[in-house]
Amino acid sequence: MSLGKILIVEDEPAIQTLIALNLKLSGYDSFIVSTGEEALKNIKESLPNLIIIDWMLPVMSGITLVQRLKTDPRTKRIPIIFLTAKTDEN
């Protein structure tokens, strides 16, 4: 029995695998997409319980994706965790 669905939005395959494996071992179902556009399509089909988003994605940044999700009444309450390798806030 799954504890919930977690959408992983990450473009690096090694990081995708690491996160998905740890979530599976913890009892969660995870779904992986590599771009913000794919994330929006996946979310349109099925709402996740949580979204893990890389800050720096190709084409649509993680920030832009979050802005779109938080302005949509259907997705604005989904919790989001940001991943980043950035070392400063700028």
Cα–Cα distance, 31 to 16 (Å, whole number):
10
Summarised one tens digit per residue, pLDDT across range 11-48 is 999 999 999 999 999 999 999 999 999 999 999 999 99
Residue 88 has pLDDT above 70, yes or no: no
Grade residue 87 by pLDDT with cuts at 50, 70 and 90: low
pLDDT at 86: 64
Q: Classify burial at 85, counting beta carbons within 10 Å of its beta carbon; exposed 0-12, middle 13-18, buried 19 or more.
A: exposed
pTM: 0.91
Cα–Cα distance, 67 to 16 (Å, whole number):
22
3-state secondary structure at position 88? coil
What is the overall mean pLDDT for the chain?
Answer: 93
Residue 1 has pLDDT above 70, yes or no: yes
**Domains in the chain, CATH or no CATH each:** 5-83 (3.40.50.2300)
